[in-house]
Structure 1
């Protein structure tokens, strides 16, 4: 593959670092991406096509570099690089191989689980919430700009050179399938921003979890040529949610679009309600769209409520705090709801519900009423469910926090659970999980 830059080309970033091109990684609509060698290790260099190397884009890149966003979920521009004849680009971290694109998920080329998909959705929501909280609109949220690890759910957001300060103008409005209806129609006064990002984010989440676009039902199947005019009608002039409760004209075809019927049926009502709100009322009223905080809380609750089928072992999403469950999506057996841990945080009080399964864990964010960031990695582990080595079927909660807990039994007596120790889970047991780093406390009850 040949590109604009030859291997061995030497460039210099605006901070004085020498950059040597070592190979081409890929190409997109705006430019090409190269692997480059720097004194700090290998980086990626995005180099713009001449037609895209405009003064406006140059200003955007310089502003993004100056913002210096320290967030590992973004492949953020870290340095501006200029070449001859007005050519330019920017440095960013190289995307690790473990991160895969959504097209592989949609084509069923990846093996993953409901827990991983919910985790990826939660991390994606928080990533864009970080941008919005800093007054930055992404403007082109789509399946092409997000990568995820199918094992852990970690995410990386790329192509961040589309992001601008809210209110600034530029030529990027988004990808048609993900654009808010008012942008597709070109309504007077409509411009890409955080409100339109909320629509795009909801479309992305729907595709993550349902493996289908929320507006592609019978109406799309009836279109013989899906050209630009047809897309503008489908996504702008006449957008209609495939599961609109008051209009079935665009419902999924049971043969051609059976996948979305199946995935929607097994999604918890808490998530279905948010999608329905966003793709009915939110289509007409941008101010009514689901906020990142609503998605965050619903996704976390759904993630902590995933259970394993007792018959086939497949993961199933359940409604948080419900007392009964339906049938397993895989084998059809009746699901058996295990007990749950009910965590009550320190003031301002909030409850977290975690369904018990063989790999159940409690993380620092579970102990906080308003966590700044959710993190299900080993680095944030506070407690985990463990099975007794000599007594199969007997479980306890192991202290992984590094600080002692206080346990109160049903008869009122107390005990200390040191770091590394395990306390058997018995009815009526309450645990004070004070965490030394965050100073947050929570009480756990087994229900």
Structure 2
């Protein structure tokens, strides 16, 4: 593969660091991406095509670099690099190989799980929430700008050079399939920003969980030529949710679009409700779109309520806090809800329900009423379910924190659980998880 820059080309960043091109990683609509060597290690260099290397784009890149947005979920521009004849680009971290593109997911070329997909959705929501909280609109949220780890759900957001300060009208408006209807129509006064980002984000979440676009039903199948005019009608002038409760004219075709019928049927009602709100009222009123905090809370609750089918072992999403569940999506067997931990946070009081399975864990974010970031990795582990080594089927909760827990049994007697110790789980047990490094505490009840 040949590109604009040859191997061993020497460039310099705005901070004076030497940048040596070592190979080409890929190409996109705006430019090419190269692997480069720098004094700080290997980096990726995005180099713009001449037609895209405009003064406006240069200003956007320099502004993004100056913001020094340090968030590991984003492949953020870290340094500006300029070449001859007004050519330029920027440095960013290299995307690790474990992160895969969404097209492979939609083509069913990746093996993943409902837990990983829900985690990816939750992490994606919080990533964009972090960006929006700094007054930056992404403007081009789409399937092409998100990569995820199909095993863990970790995400990386790329192509961040399209992000601008809220209210800045320069640059692109987005990808048609993900653009808010008012932008597709070109309504007077409509500009890309956080409100339009909320629509794009909801489309992305729907596609991640349902493997289908929320506006592509029978109306799309009836289009003989999906040209720009047809897309404007489908996404802007006449957008209609495939599961609109009041208008079924764009419902999925049971033969051609059976996948979304199946995935929607097994989605928790709480998530269905948010999607319905966003793609009915939210299509007409940008102010009514689902906020990141709503998605965050609903996705976390759904993630903590995933159940393993006792018959086939497949993971199933269930409605949080409900006492009954339906049938397994894979084998059709009745789902049996396991015991749950009910964790109550300090004021402002919030309740978390965690269904118990063999890999159940309590993390630091479970102990915080309004966590700014959820993290299901080992680094935030507070407690985990463990099976008794000599008594199969008997489980306890192991203290993985650095503080002593206090417990009260159902008969009123007290006990302490030191770091590394395990307390048997019995109905009526109440545990106070200590503050420790998380800076929070919570009360856990076994039910």
TM-score (norm 1): 1.00
Say if 2:131 is the partner of 1:141. no
Structure 2 partner of 1:31: 31
- The residue correspondences of 1:80-229 to structure 2 (distance < 5 A) are 80-229=80-229
Q: How many residues align?
A: 447
Structure 2 partner of 1:12: 12
Residue 332 of structure 1 and its aligned partner are, at CA, apart by 0.2
Aligned equivalents of 2:402 and 2:381: distance in 1?
Answer: 10
Encode CA deviations 1:343-393: one digit per residue, 9 max, x unaligned: 001111110000000100000000000111000000000000001011111
Say if 2:281 is the partner of 1:277. no
Encode CA deviations 1:184-220: one digit per residue, 9 max, x unaligned: 0000000000000000000000000000000000000
Structure 1 partner of 2:77: 77
For residue 59 of structure 1, give the secondary structure of its aligned residue in structure 2: helix
Structure 2 partner of 1:351: 351
Structure 1 partner of 2:312: 312
For residue 327 of structure 1, give the secondary structure of its aligned residue in structure 2: coil
Structure 2, unpaired ranges of 5+: none
TM-score (norm 2): 1.00
Encode CA deviations 1:375-434: one digit per residue, 9 max, x unaligned: 000000000000101111100000001211001111211111000000000111100001
For residue 192 of structure 2, give the secondary structure of its aligned residue in structure 1: coil
Aligned equivalents of 2:402 and 2:328: distance in 1?
Answer: 38
Encode CA deviations 1:9-58: one digit per residue, 9 max, x unaligned: 00000001000000000000000000000111100000000010000000
Aligned equivalents of 1:325 and 1:173: distance in 2?
Answer: 42
For residue 108 of structure 1, give the secondary structure of its aligned residue in structure 2: coil
Encode CA deviations 1:114-162: one digit per residue, 9 max, x unaligned: 0000000000000000010000000000000000000110000000000
Structure 1 partner of 2:321: 321
Residue 171 of structure 1 and its aligned partner are, at CA, apart by 2.8
Residue 170 of structure 1 and its aligned partner are, at CA, apart by 1.3
Check whether the contact 2:20–2:38 (CA below 8 A) recurs between aligned residues.
yes
Residue 439 of structure 1 and its aligned partner are, at CA, apart by 2.9
Structure 2 partner of 1:233: 233
- Higher mean alpha-carbon deviation, 134-143 vs 404-413, is at 404-413
- The residue correspondences of 1:249-268 to structure 2 (distance < 5 A) are 249-268=249-268
Aligned equivalents of 1:434 and 1:290: distance in 2?
Answer: 34
Aligned equivalents of 2:39 and 2:63: distance in 1?
Answer: 24
Aligned equivalents of 2:355 and 2:411: distance in 1?
Answer: 25
Q: 4+ residue runs of structure 1 moved beyond 4 angstroms? A: none
Residue 435 of structure 1 and its aligned partner are, at CA, apart by 2.4
Aligned equivalents of 2:65 and 2:239: distance in 1?
Answer: 37
Say if 2:432 is the partner of 1:432. yes
Structure 1, unpaired ranges of 5+: none
For residue 57 of structure 2, give the secondary structure of its aligned residue in structure 1: helix
Aligned equivalents of 1:75 and 1:27: distance in 2?
Answer: 16
Aligned equivalents of 2:333 and 2:296: distance in 1?
Answer: 30
For residue 127 of structure 2, give the secondary structure of its aligned residue in structure 1: helix
Check whether the contact 2:162–2:171 (CA below 8 A) recurs between aligned residues.
no
Aligned equivalents of 1:419 and 1:177: distance in 2?
Answer: 50
Check whether the contact 2:22–2:36 (CA below 8 A) recurs between aligned residues.
yes
